[in-house]
Amino acid sequence: MAAYLEAALEDGDPALVVAALGDIARSKGMTHIARETGLGRESLYKALSIEGNPEFATILKVVQALGLRLRVTSI
């Protein structure tokens, strides 16, 4: 999970990051992620789709619900 998301982040394409996060969330169960984030399941499916454009707050909630953490490092 972490390696997949990290690879998407390294690519730098926001759509790829959202798609990867959606893949991971679906693999864990979107109902579970919706419950953990307090967001609607259908809203999550839409936000984390290829055409989705989720708010950063949604991204953070999903990452936390997946038991992951985003970190910043210098390059």
Residues 6+ apart with CB under 8 A from 41: 30, 31, 34
pLDDT of amino acid 50:
83
17-75 pLDDT, tens digit per residue, is 999 999 999 999 999 999 999 999 999 999 999 889 999 999 999 999 999 999 888 97
Q: What is the pTM of this model?
A: 0.90
pLDDT of amino acid 46:
95
> In this structure, are residues 37 and 54 in contact, taking their beta carbons and an 8 Å threshold?
no
